[in-house]
């Protein structure tokens, strides 16, 4: 037993997840600063993440540590810090994802540097869940993902497609090259637009620095891969109204989003501060309410296990360039990003997070979606 009562309390809690302090298994933790315990009990998840960034504790396999923590639901014992309370009040009283605040996540996260993401992602720079059934590498998984989405949308030459949250233009480039689609992509990241325009040069692709709420025009298909997490619950109905107004009556919407098991108003305080400011993960109920009367569900799948595998592949790429990352961004950033990737992978592994792939058609458009394509490549 330790002479520190907080350390003993921490070990008692962690033992329910089969985690030891000072143990020798890959998921056990080593504490380097005795103030770690008070910091975590006082600040919850924010204190746990920040203390890792500061080097106060380590773990050989963070994903295995968090997998056990999430399976045991120990995060429910986390302290409700002032930061959590503030985020809840802010989201309740105001609109954290209002247009005036929408560019913050682009500046903080997506504009970190194109070279940084180039090293971490696949060759097409797809920053969403891959499709791994027949894939052996990250490149193959993301190529399969893009092909799957195009088949589900039933893309044909000359179709006008809107890509909301287009990133570096990976889907737009694939849809134009392989299916002859004419794609308009919108993003709030200047660096994504800059590189995306280079990648899509000489193709019928237009990438715009534009908020989804400002989109005008008519499209045969709409796709949004990994952007809905930034819309916010107060704007879900607006998002689907914008899409419905832009979509032809016999069109389709393919929506890919991370989801949570129960409705919440705020995101994790550490994620909100360091990774995705002003983000919000939707529940099934929240999406259902937002599409009511606008869209009907043609298909709804969960790819949580594949997102776990995708994140672990990103982490392997990230670790290959860790010395470059440390030189460019510092050791604290390196630890922060490692923590983000591995904790996220564990969240999907424990099914604390879901990876929803949703195919929608306009409400009342009988037979609009037509027969669903087969899943095989």
Tens digit of each residue's pLDDT (9 = 90 or more) over 188-244: 999 999 999 999 999 999 999 999 999 999 999 999 999 999 999 999 999 999 999
In this prediction, residue 88 carries a pLDDT of 41
Give the pLDDT score at 264. Answer: 83
Instruction: State what percent of residues in the chain have pLDDT above 70.
Output: 89
Cα angle vertex 204, ends 199, 206, to 5°?
A: 70
Residue 109 DSSP label:
I
| Rounded CA separation 179/170 (Å) | 14
* pLDDT score at 376: 47
Specify the DSSP class assigned to residue 29: B
Q: Evaluate if residue 295 carries a pLDDT over 90.
A: yes
d(CA 220, CA 158): 10
pLDDT above 80: residue 28: yes
Instruction: Name the region of 43 (left: φ>0; alpha: ψ -120 to 50; beta: rest).
Output: alpha
User: What average pLDDT does this structure show over 38-47?
Assistant: 91
Q: What is the dihedral of CA 116, 117, 119, 121, to 10 degrees?
A: 160
What pLDDT is attached to residue 74?
Answer: 87
pLDDT at 161 over 70: yes
The position carrying tokens 């929506």 is: 255
Cα separations in angstroms, 39 against 12, 56, 114, 361? 17, 10, 35, 49
Q: What percent of the chain has pLDDT over 90?
A: 82
Rounded to two decimals, the pTM is 0.92
Average pLDDT rounded to a whole number, residues 182-188: 98
Q: Taking all residues of the chain, what is their mean pLDDT, rounded to a whole number?
A: 91
Tell whether the model's pLDDT for residue 321 goes beyond 80: yes
Of the candidate ranges 23-32, 79-88, 295-304, the one whose mean pLDDT is the lowest: 79-88
Residue with tokens 């143990």: 23
pLDDT at 80: 54
Contact by Cβ (8 Å): 21, 31: yes
Scan for tokens 């694939």, then name that residue.
174
Pair 308, 66: CB distance under 8 Å: no
Provide the token pair at 233: 């619950």
Angle at 242 between CA 236 and CA 248, to 5 degrees: 130
**How far apart, in whole angstroms, are the C-alpha atoms of residue 145 and residue 142?**
5
Q: Which pLDDT score, from 0 to 100, does residue 266 have?
A: 74
Tell me the per-residue pLDDT of 86-118, one tens digit each, with 9 for 90 and over.
444 444 444 555 665 568 889 999 999 999 999
pLDDT at residue 363 in the model: 87
For residue 101, the model assigns a pLDDT of 59
Q: Which pLDDT value is given to residue 339?
A: 98
């Amino acid at each position: 037993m330790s002479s520190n009562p907080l350390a003993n309390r921490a070990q008692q809690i962690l033992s329910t997840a089969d985690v030891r302090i000072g143990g020798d298994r890959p998921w056990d933790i080593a504490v380097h600063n005795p103030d770690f315990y008070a910091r975590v009990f006082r600040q919850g998840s924010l204190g746990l993440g920040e203390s890792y960034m500061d080097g106060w504790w380590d773990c050989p396999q963070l994903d295995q540590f968090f997998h056990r923590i999430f399976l045991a639901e120990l995060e429910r014992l986390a302290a409700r810090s002032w930061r959590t309370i503030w985020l809840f009040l802010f989201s309740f009283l105001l609109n954290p994802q209002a247009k005036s605040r929408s560019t913050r996540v682009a500046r903080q996260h997506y504009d970190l540097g194109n070279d940084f993401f180039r090293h971490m992602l696949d060759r097409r720079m797809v920053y969403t869940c891959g499709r791994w059934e027949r894939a052996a590498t990250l490149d193959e998984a993301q190529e399969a993902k893009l092909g799957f989405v195009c088949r589900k949308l039933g893309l044909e030459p000359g179709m006008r497609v809107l890509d909301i949250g287009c990133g570096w233009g990976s889907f737009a480039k694939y849809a134009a090259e392989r299916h002859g689609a004419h794609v308009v992509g919108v993003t709030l990241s200047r660096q994504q637009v800059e590189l995306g325009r280079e990648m899509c040069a000489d193709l019928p692709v237009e990438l715009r620095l534009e908020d989804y709420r400002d989109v005008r025009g008519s499209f045969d298909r709409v796709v949004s891969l990994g952007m809905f997490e930034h819309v916010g619950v107060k704007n879900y109905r607006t998002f689907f109204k914008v899409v419905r107004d832009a979509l032809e009556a016999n069109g389709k919407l393919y929506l890919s989003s991370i989801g949570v098991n129960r409705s919440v108003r705020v995101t994790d305080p550490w994620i909100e501060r360091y990774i995705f400011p002003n983000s919000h993960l939707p529940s099934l109920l929240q999406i259902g309410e937002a599409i009511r009367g606008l869209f009907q569900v043609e298909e709804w799948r969960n790819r949580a296990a594949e997102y776990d595998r995708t994140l672990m592949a990103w982490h392997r790429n990230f670790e290959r360039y860790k010395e470059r990352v440390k030189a460019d961004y510092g050791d604290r950033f390196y630890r922060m990003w490692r923590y983000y990737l591995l904790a996220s992978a564990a969240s999907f592994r424990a099914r604390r997070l879901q990876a929803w792939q949703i195919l929608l058609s306009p409400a009342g458009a009988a037979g609009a979606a037509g027969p669903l394509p087969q899943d095989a490549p």
